[in-house]
Each structure stands twice: as structure tokens, then as C-alpha cells.
Structure 1
Amino acid sequence: MTTIPIICQTTESDEANCSLVPDNSVRFHHSKDDVNTTEALLQTESSLKALNRIAKKPPVNIIFSDIGYSIRSYTGQRRILHNISGEFYSGELSCILGPSGAGKSTLLNILSGLTNGFDGCINVNGYERDMRSFKKLSCYIMQDDLLQPRLTALESMQIAADLKLGTNFNKADKEIIVTEVLQCLGLWQHRHTKCEQLSGGQCKRLSIALELVNNPPVIFLDEPTTGLDIVSTRQIVVLLRLLSRQGRTIICTAHQPSASLFALFDNAYIVSNGSCCYQGSTALLVPFLAEIGYVCPTTHNPADFVIEAIIGGTTAAQQMSNLCKNGKIYNGTHTTSRLRINKIQTEKIGFPTSFTTQFVILIKRMYIQTKRNSINLFIQLMHHLICALSLGGIFYMVGNEGSTPMANYKFFLSVLVFFVYTHSMTPILLFPMEIRMIRREYFNHWYGLKAFYAARTCSTVPSMLTFGMLYVSIVYFLSGQLLEWDRFILFAIGALLTGFCSEGLGLIIGSAFNVTNGSIVGPATISPLLMLCCYGMGFGSFIEPLMKVLMSMSYLRYGLTAFTLPLYQNRTLMECNADVCPYADPAIILRDVGMASDIYSLQIFGLIMFTTFHRVIAYFILRHRLTGDNSNKFIAQINKFLKCS
């Protein structure tokens, strides 16, 4: 029978005393008012001993000095941080406190590397921070718990382990680590529960668990307790304290924690209007306030008291900032050794896994998610079926009718519109949410963007081929087109390439804009392309040279031509039920729609070129979104314009 050592230095008023309990479990004893807060927390058989042994990482101390940061606003440059300094050490749980807009999240983003373009210096273990190596030793758990949907907690952990641990660890070691982390964070009994069915506290713990699989020595958390009830909040804070005691540097932002929660933090870093008002032990905050004449009542929460004192940049905030010299003076002593640690040596700067391995893992994950999204698959099936039957009924048997030739041309346009909007609007509406999820994974060094983008591109091909061919088959035969396999295949190739190219356009818009703005920009972009693609209908031989150039810039023109040529080139006269049928000859139709001299292979080549162009542009926009620090001025200006208009 073993016990798990947990170091919890608290007082009687902390309401969070920890004790050692046999039977391989950890139990927390609280006051009568808080007895049920963490009753079932951390039922575990180990304290991440295997993780610390298998994926051993060096301790990391972070010291920063004179950090300043400004942003552009309507009134010019606005200073967010005013040359603040501070220090965070291994083995300690630290919180950054302050009123709303004080600069808490900005400071956390700078320390984690999410935000660039700041003044000052950040040292890691006494040396200037190298972001390439620092990213491999840190993780950032953002405020929103955006977990991959339709995966169980265990599946999510296994994928994270495969991506983050790489080939240096065998399958048995990965299974040990995944099991141990899930047990330690109290998620083992929920391992077969899908992520979207977990509670708020369980989602937060799973977010932490996913980043723990490679044992990062530095963990950043932005408002980890936001949206949680008092029970889940205490569970998260106690869990973070436990993890810090195992040698990790844990830094998080918090919004006015309760007195009992505040006492669980080792250090508090308090900011107000971009200046540091206090840095030091949470136990010494009240004496520090008393030095400048602000006596905290014994019945008052110190965290609430200090926020009330400094809110709005009052005299108290200035006095506190002067007393701690804007973060250069630490109040108290650190709970861990402050001896200098050697410079971090990173032998391999790249990702733990190769491009091929990342691609295979990600494509499998996307396949599982798509397969389990039965509602989405059903909606797609019904959408294609209903639209195909409706369109086939409207243009029933017009394909070989010489008396109404333009009806068939309108049928081509209708098929074109279907593929354009079906495959462009889906990424416009869904990809912005997907970006928010992959931002966390990509920033925390799970995989490379090229591998993700390749997997994302290939993941939609099976459903597009399946549903696209179903739609094309129905409308082709209902509309009475020539029953020749070569013509049908060429028609289908043009339709599918148009859809694939339209999806690329949707990815461009979905990568650059949010859902609201994208839903405006998308149709606004497609409308002129549609007008250009059908220009010249009825007077094709008289299209102006300038308009021909403009029409060649619309990929939809290539798609429409790829529909028309296979069904009108090299065929006999069409049936005619009228006395005079000038358009019974398909060559005359091609002449009057401006396609007489067009070649089918060139239309396919044009679609392939536009598809490649769209995908490349979308990739670079996505890379900027993920690697930039939200400073894309061009896109920001467009978003501002759309919001104001």
C-alpha cells in the first residue's frame, strides 16, 4: 500500500488542506462550507512518475524585464504594457491578476510567444529566449476549451501522444503515459466519453491532459476557471498546484479568485493599466498593502481588496508599482531553489514526427470525425438528392431537344451554381471555427501546417466524389443528355473539379474572415464570377476582346465550358418538334454562347490551375493567421470596414 506525496503549504484559513491517504488515492479535506468541492478529484494510482521518467524535461525559470507593448487604435498608438518586469520559477503556481483591460492576457501571450512585436527581454534559465526551443518546452492552454469533436477522451489523448511524442517512444510507453495522465487528472472513468459530452470542468482537465503527454515544463493558462462552478474551479486550481509541485512552471491568469483559491497560488503578479503593482508570495500581499496604508480587513478577500484598490489606475496602484519597482522587486522567497539552471539544449528543432506520419495521423482523425458525424452525412445526402431530383424535374428531357436549346444551357448553369455554392459556403461557415481549434494544436507544436493542410484538403475528397457523382448521375439522366459514357465522364469531371475549385475559394474566405463577414464576402465574390461566366449568351461570336480577358479570370467560365463542350461537340443534329429549329445543329449553339473555338482539355487545365491557386492562397492566409500575432493589418481593416458598414 503506497501513498502519493503532495506538498500543500496552507494555513487553517485556506480551506484547502491536503493530507496523505492510503489506497493509492488523494483526498482533500476542506471546511464544512466547502466539504464537497474536491471530493472526487485526482483518484489516481500515480503522480505522473512514469511520465516524468519516460519524457523527462529540464526545469525552466522565466525572467522578463522592461516588457512594453503597444497596439494601434483609432486614436493612434495605445500602450498596453509599460516596461514591466517579473520572474516565474520552476515548481511554483503563479497567477496574474488585475482588472479587466489591465494587460493580463497580453502579458501571458507575450510570455508564451503567442504575441510578438514587444519591447524588452525575456530570459529562460538565464539566457535569452529562443522561441524554436521554447515552444518544445511549453504549452498554452487557451481560455476556450475547443476540443476536437466526435472523439473520445482516450482517442484524443492517443492522437496527441502519437503526434507529440513521435517515434522516440514505443507504443507501450505511449499507452503508459496516456493512462497515467488520464488517471492523474481524474478522467480515466470518462475515457470513452466523447469530448462534446464532457462537463466544463472535465473539458478543462482534458485540455490540460492533452498538453501533458509530452511533459512540458512550462504551462500557460488563460483564465482556466472561467465559466466553471465553484467545485470545478477548485478542482482545476488544486490540480495545477499538484502539477507545479512536480517541477513545472505554471502561469495562469485569474479573475478575482476566492480567498481559499487565492491561497493555493504560490505567487501573485498583479497588473493595473499595464504596470506591475505587486509580485511575490500570496501570503505577503496583505502586509505589502499595509505598508502603503491599505489595511485589508480580516473578513475580506485579499484578491478582491487589491483589485478594488487599484482599479482605474488609482493612487494605490501607483504607490504599489513604485514600491515593487514595476515588478523588479520580488516580495518574499521562492518555494523552490533559485540556483542558475543550465541553458536549454534542443538537439532537434523540428517536430517530433515527420510530415508523412503527421499526415497519416491527421487524415485518420478527420476520417473518424467525418464517419461519426452521421447527421452531417445525412444532411449532405438529402441535400444532393432533393436538389438533383428537383433540378432533374425542372429540366426533364431537355438534353436532346433542338427547339429549346437554351433550356439545356440553363441546365448547365444550374448545375454550376449548385456545385459553386454547395462547396464554397461549407468552408466559409465552418472553417473559422476549425481554425480556432487548430490554432491551439499548431501553436503547441503538435504538427506542421503543411501536414494539416494536406490532410484537410484530402479529407473532403471521398464525400465530394460520392455525393457529387450521385448528384451528377441523377441530373444527367433526368435531363435527357446523351447516354454515352465518355460524355458522361467528361461532364462529371468538369462538375467535380468545379466543386473542388469552389471549396478552395471557400477556404480562402474562411481563412481570412470570421463566419459573419465570410457569409457576406462569399456571395459577393461569387456573384461577379457568375456574371462573367455566362456573358455572351446569344451573341458569343461578338464578345469584346476586353470581356474575353475578364471572362478568362473567372474559373466558373472554365467550369461552364467543361459542362457544355462534352455534350455539344461532335454530335448529330438534335431532335426538333417545331417547324424551324435553327439550333438543332449543336455547332450553332456553341457559336452563340462563345465556345465554338474552345478545347475541353484547356478548360480542365484552367480549373486545375485555379484550384491550385486557390489552395495556395488559402494556405498562406491560414499560415499568417496561425503564426502571426493577430496583426494582419489588411484583413483587420477589411473586418473593421465590414463591421462599420
Structure 2
Amino acid sequence: MCCYQGAAPLLIPFLAEIGHICPSTHNPADFVLETLATEPEASAQMSELCQNGKLCRKLDRMTFRGGRKPVLHSDDSIQRIFVEHVAKEQLQKMEFPTTFLTQFIILTKRMFMQSRRNSVTLWIQLAHHLVSAVLLGSIFFLVGNDGSAPIVNFKFCISVLVFFMYTYIMIPVLLFPMEVRMLRREYFNRWYGLKAYYAALTFSSLPVMLFFGILFLGITYLMSGQILEWDRFILFVIYGILTGICSEGLGLAVGSAFDATNGSIIGPATAAPLLVLCCYGMGFGPYIEARMKALMSLSYLRYGLAGLSIALYQKRPLMECSQDFCLYADPTLLLRDVGMATDTYYMQIVGLLVFIFIHRLIAYFVLRYRLTSEFSNKFMSYISKFLKYR
């Protein structure tokens, strides 16, 4: 129960309205604690009058936008305290004591410090990327310029895509629900705003992802024997990192809405149909139906796979052929048969950026909904029961 949510100068008149006069020699905060400890019914009174902390938080929106009067469940005297005696500037100060930029800088520093101190997690991620890169490079060893096995190299692109998809979806799905519990407490105390926290969270994850992602892609690119051209490698890295950022946004959306147990089911279940859509059309690319093309455009993995394939195959010389005849020695034929002949670099980048924005926006609003006082735990319990019965 929240007994008071507002500016410090308004605490004494608020207490007076419920019949508890704070002596002039008393500290108001101590007086509140003494009152709550000695008179149990006072907590229920105070919580009811401030609507369990909703009143002040909703007042700015209800009072000053459009000139609408606030709809309060308390009596006129409480409305007078919070409406007539509080200026708009004071309301803004009640929200957060620092600016967005200050909050963003402090939160970013804190998140970097937490990552540095949690060295075990970094070592686990390093081992995961190194072992996966070596294994993947060994499976597709030197197939990059082999004209007799272009489909194998296309499977290499799919494997890279799957790695970035599941790795960066599952990390926030498993870890972010624990972060939400701490966030709810600090946000309720009005230490910082959700926008600043979310911006810091997004920014702080980029350096680690860039370092480990480039390390993974560099090892696999060299071991798989891809053509050694800087522009191709840079594009290959860009598409891989963008896929990872997009997957992380999807993982944040799932981690914001569900706990780790349910999220570990929802995350892969959401990614699986997207993966199926992205691989559709292998062998009959020019004949993909219009409705399937529309469905495929809803999968961000399709843009990632097309980008990785274009980076390796578009505008390159004929591949080496160790047999009498290699159908796909000309890379343009392979792009045609997988349905990527008309795709361009920029279209895939724009598509991934759009999905990054959509996933992050969904995650933000889900998180915001969970943190608002109107959030109902019953809704989440119904979802949990549904998943258990399923």
C-alpha cells in the first residue's frame, strides 16, 4: 500500500486532512512512520485518499492537458490540496529530480559498471561465441568459393542467421525479467524515467554485441573460405549485427511481458515461424506466390538472410568449379533460385531497421504498461494459466 505520493511540502497539509496534525517540532517523515506504527487504520485512510499512489502520478495528465478536471475518488479537500496548491512546475519536479540526459548518463555508467563487474557472464558469452564460431567454421570449412557446393554455403548463411537469432533472443528472455523486478521498485520511487532507462539499456548492450558479433563473424568468414574482399565482409558484419539487434528487441518484448519460465517457451515459439518464412522458396524462387511474399516480408529474418546472401553472392566473379559442370558457378543463378535476385543491399538494411524500431517500440510499451499503476496482475496470471494448460 502506498500511503503518500507527492511533493514533500504537501505532506503536512495532506496529513491534516485526515486528522493527524504534525507538531512543528516534529520531522514530518518520522511523524508519518510513528502514525502508521501506532494507528493501523491510518495506513488504509492515507492509501485510499491518494488512490494508492495513483493520484499525483496521474494528475499532470488529467489536469493540464485539454483543461479537463481530474476525476478523483477522494473528497473535495484532497482535490484542493493537489490541484489548487501545486503549480505545474512543482508537478514536473515531483516526477523526476534530474533531466533525461543526466538520467541517461548515470544509468549508462551503472549498466557498464554492472557488466564489467559481472565478468562471469562476459566470459560465458566469449566462450559461447568462440566455440560456436569454430564449430560452424569447421562444418562449412572452405565452401565459400566452391562452385560445386553453393547450396552448402547458403546453409552457412542460414546457420549464421540462426545463431544471431537464438543467442540474442534468449539472453533478454532469461535475464530481463529479473531486471524488471528491480526496475519496478526504482521507477516507483521516481529515481528515473522509463525513457532514460530504456535508452540506456539499448545503448549499453551495443558495445558487447559489436565485439562478440564481429569476433564470431570474422572467424566463421575466414574458416568458411569466403571471398576476401573488405566491402563484402563489412556488409556481412552489418547484416549479422542488425539481425542480432533486431532479435534482442524481440527478446526484450518477450522478457518484458513474461517471466523467465514462460518467456523461454514464448521466445522460441515466436521465432520458429519467422525462421520458416525466411527460408521459404529455396529452389523455386521466381515462382513464389504473391501471398507468400507478403507473409515473408513480415519476417525480419528474411531480410537478414537475404542481406547475408547478397553480401556473399551479388556482383562477384564465377566461383571455382572442381567438376566438369557446376550449375551454380554463376552466383546470380543461385540468388535467382532462392528468390533473392531482385533484392538490394539498401532494401534489406531498411527492412531490418524498421523491424528494430517495431520490436523496441513494442518492448517499450509492454514495459511501460507493466510499470504503470493501472497494470493488472490478473492479466498475466490468465496468460500463465493458459500456457500451463497448453
For Structure 1 versus Structure 2, the TM-score category normalised by the shorter chain is 0.7 to 0.9
Deviations 1:235-278 (A, max 9, x none): xxxxxxxxxxxxxxxxxxxxxxxxxxxxxxxxxxxxxxxxxxxx
Aligned position for 2:236: 491
* Correspondence list, 1:619-634, <5 A: 619-631=364-376
Distance in 1, Cα, partners of 2:48 & 2:132: 52
Distance in 2, Cα, partners of 1:635 & 1:380: 31
Aligned position for 1:136: none
Counterpart among 262, 279, 285 of residue 517 in structure 1 = 262
| CA pair 107-425 structure 1, distance change in 2 beyond 3 A | farther
Aligned position for 2:361: 616
**1:477 counterpart = 2:222:** yes
Distance in 1, Cα, partners of 2:294 & 2:313: 24
SS state at 1:396 partner: coil
- Following superposition, the deviation at residue 122 of structure 1 comes to 6.8
- Following superposition, the deviation at residue 439 of structure 1 comes to 1.0
Distance in 1, Cα, partners of 2:75 & 2:250: 41
Please, which moves more after superposition, 498-507 or 351-360? 351-360
User: Between Structure 1 and Structure 2, how many residues are aligned?
Assistant: 355
* Correspondence list, 1:5-24, <5 A: none
- Aligned amino acid, residue 128 of structure 1: Q
What is the TM-score of this pair, normalised by structure 1?
0.51
* Correspondence list, 1:23-62, <5 A: 57=9, 59-60=11-12, 62=14
Q: Retained in 2: the 8 A contact 1:538–1:593? A: yes
- Stretches of structure 2 lacking an aligned partner (at least 5 in a row): 1-6, 23-27, 59-70
Structure ranking higher in strand proportion: 1
Aligned position for 2:178: 433
- Following superposition, the deviation at residue 631 of structure 1 comes to 2.0
- Following superposition, the deviation at residue 438 of structure 1 comes to 1.1
* Correspondence list, 1:226-625, <5 A: 343=85, 347-350=89-92, 351-625=96-370
- Aligned amino acid, residue 104 of structure 2: F
- Aligned amino acid, residue 638 of structure 1: I
SS state at 1:128 partner: helix
- Following superposition, the deviation at residue 467 of structure 1 comes to 0.5
SS state at 2:176 partner: helix
Distance in 2, Cα, partners of 1:409 & 1:59: 67
Distance in 1, Cα, partners of 2:122 & 2:81: 45
Deviations 1:101-146 (A, max 9, x none): xx99x97994333999x994278xx533877x9xxxxxxxxxxxxx
Deviations 1:408-435 (A, max 9, x none): 0110000000001111111111111111
- Following superposition, the deviation at residue 61 of structure 1 comes to 5.5
* Correspondence list, 1:120-269, <5 A: 120-121=73-74, 126-128=77-79
Q: Retained in 1: the 8 A contact 2:303–2:351? A: yes
Aligned position for 1:111: 52
- Following superposition, the deviation at residue 530 of structure 1 comes to 0.2
Distance in 2, Cα, partners of 1:56 & 1:448: 19
Q: Which structure has the bigger radius of gyration?
A: 1
Aligned position for 1:216: none
Aligned residues with identical type, % of pairs? 55
| CA pair 583-444 structure 1, distance change in 2 beyond 3 A | same
- Following superposition, the deviation at residue 641 of structure 1 comes to 1.3
SS state at 2:74 partner: strand
- Stretches of structure 1 lacking an aligned partner (at least 5 in a row): 1-54, 66-84, 134-341
What is the TM-score of this pair, normalised by structure 2?
0.83
SS state at 1:368 partner: helix
- Aligned amino acid, residue 12 of structure 2: V
Q: CA RMSD in A?
A: 3.0
Structure showing greater relative contact order (alpha-carbon pairs closer than 8 Å, 6 or more residues apart): 2
Distance in 1, Cα, partners of 2:136 & 2:13: 66
- Aligned amino acid, residue 52 of structure 2: L
| CA pair 108-388 structure 1, distance change in 2 beyond 3 A | farther
Q: Retained in 2: the 8 A contact 1:64–1:121? A: no
- Following superposition, the deviation at residue 513 of structure 1 comes to 1.1
| CA pair 346-57 structure 1, distance change in 2 beyond 3 A | farther
Q: Retained in 1: the 8 A contact 2:169–2:248? A: yes
Distance in 2, Cα, partners of 1:512 & 1:438: 14
Distance in 2, Cα, partners of 1:503 & 1:522: 11
- Following superposition, the deviation at residue 402 of structure 1 comes to 1.1
Distance in 1, Cα, partners of 2:252 & 2:153: 31
Deviations 1:286-318 (A, max 9, x none): xxxxxxxxxxxxxxxxxxxxxxxxxxxxxxxxx
Distance in 1, Cα, partners of 2:223 & 2:166: 22
